[in-house]
Structure 1
Amino acid sequence: MTTPTALIIDDEPDIRELLEITLMRMDIKVRTAADVTSAKAILEADPPQLCLTDMNLPDGNGIELVQWIQQVCPQTPVAVITAYGSMDTAIEALKAGAFDFVSKPVELPRLRELVNSALKLSKPEVERTGDDDPGLLLGQSEGIRRLRTQTRKLARSQAPVFISGESGSGKELVARMIHMQGPRQEGPFIAVNCGAIPSELMESEFFGHKKGSFTGATDNKAGLFRSADGGTLFLDEVADLPLNMQVKLLRAIQEKAVRPVGESREFPVDVRILSATHRDLPSLVQEGDFRQDLFYRINVIELKVPPLRERPDDIELLARHILTRLARDYECDPATLTPSALEKLRQYDFPGNVRELENILERAFTLCDLDQIDADDLHMGHAPVPSSRIEADPDAAPGAAVELPDDGELDLENYLESIERKAIEKALEATRWNKTAAAKKLGISFRALRYKLKKLGME
């Protein structure tokens, strides 16, 4: 195995020596430079697998050097060394294309983590995702190709990325692609919907808690940040965080450490933050509903996901992929779209984006009688759950009304599932478990019966 090389650029001999000794102990061959001019000469002659540069150099600055490296040897990840507390400078470096940053005085464990991550990026390109391998981001439109290029580039950085886009457009898929193509791919990917966590539990969910710290804390809990250590934490719908939680999140991001509820000490965490929302975050900042300082920390780089209506030529490819997955999940023959059905999909504006396309196709997949989905099988603009024609409890008299509990509350979803389950069981028993005959008896397609059996866990 070839020994990796690193270039250290700093005008302070003591710093160069400390970094050189640390990297040599990691079996890395080290070259050093005291200024930008000599550094450029080394980089042009023999680009290393990693570059560490100070921000302030006698004949230039680290930001300009980062930009130059991006142009001349973009495959070399470069990290900058910043003064203590200079977060604004670090963010400027990340925007310029730096892989990561480390603050003075340099903490050696943090430096080792950074170096190990950078060296993973220096593997030959053939070992990672190809130039236009679609991965999870399917499509051949210009917008989706550009998005794939951007995710591949951002995967090489540790900069926080803010992913904007409409609901259902695929923001989490973009976050997963950034994670999968970067040096953290072997670490965990933790996705959390910030709007789905009760406000009173947020601190415990994010940072964990100590056993006995509050009523109900019967065990120690790691929390989302520590669960994502070494990987990526994706904060979906980050705009839904209450202001008091935004303050604590900002501190965790800045300090790279968390303090569980009830603990007296902080725990260091190595987490890359990706975030997303369908809301207009700059407007929320102006209105005072989202902290400006947190916005600047999570929005170092913004990535926009195009809505489905802007890439209608991708619909056929997406539909084919979705139908193939549905056939596999429900163990049925795959269904295809007729030309008229495909044209109807292309003419639709999809306010719910890819998620709505999935719902439309799943509904049509379960209800079509043959293996072809025609335009009449597509129900656009509304989302009724696929159901049989059973409308009441099969044990009740025809037309019997549903009786609500005394408190007036009914678990409608479970109630309807129990009706479907009873009706399907009776139809299967009456036909001696002949599924084709049972489907006919229920007035639904064989495919719809297979779907329901799988969904209700009756297979």
Structure 2
Amino acid sequence: MTPPLVAAAPRLLVVDDEPDLRTLYELALLREGYDIETADCVEEAWALLQAARFDAVITDMRLPDGNGLELLRRLEQAGRPEKTLVITAYGSAENAVLALKAGAFDYLTKPVDLRQFRSVVASALGRVPAPPRATAAVMGIMGAAVLAAPPVAALQRLSGGSAVMGQVRELVTKVARSMAPVLVHGESGTGKELVARAVHQVSHRAAQPFVAVNCGAIPEPLLEAEFFGYRKGAFTGASEDREGFFQAASGGTLFLDEIGELPLAMQSKLLRAIQERAVRPVGATAEQVLDVRIISATHRDLEAEVRAGRFRQDLYYRLNVIQVRVPPLRERLDDLPLLCETVLARIAAESGLTTVPRLTPSALARLARHDFPGNVRELENLLHRVVALSGGGRVDVDDLGLPGACVSDAPAVPPAAVPAGRTGPTGLVGPTGEPPLPADLMAHLDEVEREVLVRALALHRGNRTAAAAAIGLTLRQMRYRMSRLGVQAAGDGSEGSDEGEEGGA
């Protein structure tokens, strides 16, 4: 009888110039069933790597003949598959960023917590245990969603053949291989959450929870309890223990949407949780070590927020290791036909339609001339309305319900012919495809529009909602025009936020 095959133990290479620490790491990992080799410098480690393959390399930052980053770069240049972990006694944000950008899966700071050490190594090797089952209360927390496997892969929904979207998909695939924090930046409605889901689904954490949190939707007094959980009796109304977002995302990914909305006090607590990889529930005396990857997103300019003192610089450096910029729809109009086709097919499937609605060439040309301040989310909403009112089939210009969209017999203008970098106040191409207005006239119109916005904001003391209503605009239209024309509001943030879930196609 043939004996059953036993899987070989993962082989790890530990590189550190301190014998005591090498022994400590070796003992901690041998107990987990790993096969360990050790080295005390870059050259000895590289000689071992030349002679054999390893599953992971754990290296100190500072070594007698160089540093751990040099070893990481050699592995990267040689195309080696080993996951790398960096340990450093110099745990500054800059060193963490350098290590992660050099290709490290993760990093640890000395003195190393052995529980955390074993957890990070297990995560690098894909041995992350299933997280504790989240309670129904956590699943239903306001502003959060826990989804393990959406019906449509997020990476596939990042559709489009344009160069900018190709770069986004390529970057998503690259960053998914490590634990490096990712900051997704883009206008409202561009699909920031979809990018975050794609990073999660492509990574080794795909089978673990994805927890999405809208940071701007949680009242400030509840932030700490919602993020870190609480213990029974911690405050009035705490009748039982409850897990927070971090515990619900254990082993998986925590997506912090609109991170720029967090108040400074909560930013400080979040920074500690990210640095220590541990949280202390409200009312608890001990911290919980957690394995959670952080992805954040914002439509704000966080560098400007840091300069203005509204966002912590150290937290910004922790979150912005790798930035993924999601382009607005006006910069990827070449993708419009495919986006419309994809969204209409999804809407038809969800609505149970046997025939997928199709846009006529003139309807597609009219969409290409629209500003789309709400980006892909606005396009999705428009197409939902079109399908609901038209009942499917052929969708013409009249069905779109856009201003000036009543010329259904207008000659078609291919979307590719519309410049991506439009700067005119209402679009460069007229409803019948005439050439753009002269540059001096467009500059004059911009100046007139800027003056109207400035006066309206001054009249309403910087309140964008009231100013927008006074001149017949929605808040989103007001924000778009202010951004395009460089208009600032003294009372920025005084109105309610209309930021919600990110849309995508």
Q: Which entry has the higher C-alpha Rg, 1 or 2?
A: 1
Tell whether 2:346 aligns with 1:340.
no
Q: Distance in 1 between matches of 2:22 and 2:79?
A: 22
Give the secondary structure class of the aligned counterpart of 2:125. Answer: helix
Q: Given residue 59 of structure 1, which amino acid in structure 2 is its aligned partner?
A: D
Equivalent residue, structure 2, for 1:319? 340
Equivalent residue, structure 2, for 1:144? 165
Q: TM-score, normalised by structure 2?
A: 0.70
Q: Distance in 2 between matches of 1:136 and 1:75?
A: 28
Q: Distance in 2 between matches of 1:10 and 1:295?
A: 30
Q: CA deviation at 1:235?
A: 0.6
> Counterparts in 2 of 1:233-312, with a 5 A limit?
233-312=254-333
Q: Given residue 300 of structure 1, which amino acid in structure 2 is its aligned partner?
A: V
Q: Distance in 2 between matches of 1:181 and 1:134?
A: 8
Tell whether 2:57 aligns with 1:51.
yes
Q: CA deviation at 1:155?
A: 0.8
Report if the CA contact (8 A) 1:44-1:72 is conserved.
no
Q: Distance in 1 between matches of 2:358 and 2:17?
A: 65
| Residues 248-257 or 230-239, more deviating | 248-257
Tell whether 2:64 aligns with 1:42.
no
Q: Distance in 1 between matches of 2:184 and 2:157?
A: 16
Report if the CA contact (8 A) 2:120-2:291 is conserved.
no
Q: CA deviation at 1:283?
A: 0.7
Q: CA deviation at 1:3?
A: 3.9
Equivalent residue, structure 2, for 1:414? none
Equivalent residue, structure 1, for 2:182? 161
Equivalent residue, structure 2, for 1:373? 395
Q: Distance in 2 between matches of 1:182 and 1:134?
A: 11
Give the secondary structure class of the aligned counterpart of 2:126. Answer: helix
| Residues 164-173 or 93-102, more deviating | 93-102
Give the secondary structure class of the aligned counterpart of 1:151. Answer: helix
Note the alpha carbon deviations across 1:235-289, whole angstroms, 9 max, x for none: 1001111111111111111122222222232222221111111011111111111
Q: What's the C-alpha RMSD, in Å, of the aligned pairs? A: 2.2
Q: Percent identity?
A: 53
Report if the CA contact (8 A) 1:43-1:73 is conserved.
no
Equivalent residue, structure 1, for 2:478? none
Note the alpha carbon deviations across 1:336-358, whole angstroms, 9 max, x for none: 22222222223333211111110
Q: Given residue 75 of structure 1, which amino acid in structure 2 is its aligned partner?
A: P
Equivalent residue, structure 2, for 1:197? 218
| Residues 338-347 or 283-292, more deviating | 338-347
Note the alpha carbon deviations across 1:118-170, whole angstroms, 9 max, x for none: 2239xxxxxxxxxxx94332122111111111111111111111111111111
User: When the two structures are aligned, how many residues end up with a matched partner?
Assistant: 372
Report if the CA contact (8 A) 1:238-1:275 is conserved.
yes
Give the secondary structure class of the aligned counterpart of 2:57. Answer: strand
Which structure has more relative contact order (CA 8 Å, sep 6+)? It is 2
Q: CA deviation at 1:86?
A: 4.3
Q: Distance in 2 between matches of 1:260 and 1:373?
A: 54
Runs ≥4 in structure 1, deviation > 4 angstroms? 84-87
Give the secondary structure class of the aligned counterpart of 2:157. Answer: coil
| Residues 98-107 or 304-313, more deviating | 98-107
Equivalent residue, structure 2, for 1:388? none
For the structure 1 residues 260 and 369, does the alpha-carbon distance in structure 2 shift closer, same or farther, using more than 3 Å as the test? closer
Q: Given residue 190 of structure 1, which amino acid in structure 2 is its aligned partner?
A: V
Q: CA deviation at 1:47?
A: 3.5
Give the secondary structure class of the aligned counterpart of 2:364. Answer: helix
Q: CA deviation at 1:107?
A: 2.7
Q: Distance in 1 between matches of 2:391 and 2:92?
A: 64
Give the secondary structure class of the aligned counterpart of 1:135. Answer: helix
Q: Distance in 1 between matches of 2:235 and 2:203?
A: 38
Unmatched runs of 5 consecutive residues or more in structure 1: 122-132, 383-459
For the structure 1 residues 74 and 376, does the alpha-carbon distance in structure 2 shift closer, same or farther, using more than 3 Å as the test? farther
Q: Distance in 2 between matches of 1:27 and 1:211?
A: 38
Q: Distance in 1 between matches of 2:9 and 2:375?
A: 48
> Counterparts in 2 of 1:416-431, with a 5 A limit?
none
The match for 1:110 among 99, 116, 140 is 116
The match for 2:15 among 9, 13, 28 is 9
Equivalent residue, structure 2, for 1:70? 76
For the structure 1 residues 242 and 340, does the alpha-carbon distance in structure 2 shift closer, same or farther, using more than 3 Å as the test? same
For the structure 1 residues 250 and 184, does the alpha-carbon distance in structure 2 shift closer, same or farther, using more than 3 Å as the test? same
Give the secondary structure class of the aligned counterpart of 1:120. Answer: coil
Q: CA deviation at 1:12?
A: 2.2
The match for 1:33 among 24, 29, 39 is 39
Give the secondary structure class of the aligned counterpart of 2:342. Answer: helix
Note the alpha carbon deviations across 1:182-234, whole angstroms, 9 max, x for none: 12222211101111111121111111122222222222211111111111111
Tell whether 2:233 aligns with 1:227.
no
For the structure 1 residues 380 and 22, does the alpha-carbon distance in structure 2 shift closer, same or farther, using more than 3 Å as the test? farther
